[in-house]
Amino acid sequence: MIELLRAAGYATAPEAGRAIIRQQQAIGGSALPWADRSLFAELMLAWELRSHQWALDQPGPVFFDHAVPSVAGYLRLCELPVPSHVDSAARLFRYHPTVFVAPPWPDIYRTDTERQQSADEAVATHDALVATYRHYGYRLVELPRTSPQNRLDFLLSVTG
């Protein structure tokens, strides 16, 4: 979805997790979800804070793959405590009140070198993120399980 939005000319902020995994694998780092989850979360927080700041300087809307509250959701998923600075960041650095959520869809779910979680873990991730975004007061809109173009059309119709 984020790639379709970018191709349609919208400003987008990529997923922190995938980028961090690629970078950490390239340098032999340990800030990986299967090695050091707390350090991985800290790097995601830094990435998302930087993306939030960057978005403020853009002339139009910016679509994020994930955002600061996702870090708290990740920590909850991992059954790790959410440090006060992560909670503060999620409360302070706000986004549009409507957040689009892509529901788990086993028919299209795939793993790769960056996404190594099982389909069941993907469902748990979705559930943790939904609960977290609601906790921080966002209104969630589920994207329909349809073609990528139809999803894009739906998203753009809701954002007006």
pLDDT in tens, 105-136: 666 545 566 666 676 787 888 999 999 999 99
Helices and strands of the chain, counted as H and E runs: 7, 4
Is 34 a residue whose pLDDT tops 70?
yes
Residue with tokens 């920590």: 75
Q: Supply the pTM of this predicted model.
A: 0.90
Alpha-carbon distance of 76 to 42, in angstroms, equals 14
Report in angstroms the alpha-carbon separations of 86 from 45, 46, 114, 131: 7, 10, 24, 16
* Residue 155 token pair: 């998203």
| 71/61 Cα distance (integer angstroms) | 22
pLDDT recorded at residue 120: 77
Question: What is the CATH code for 2-159?
Answer: 3.40.50
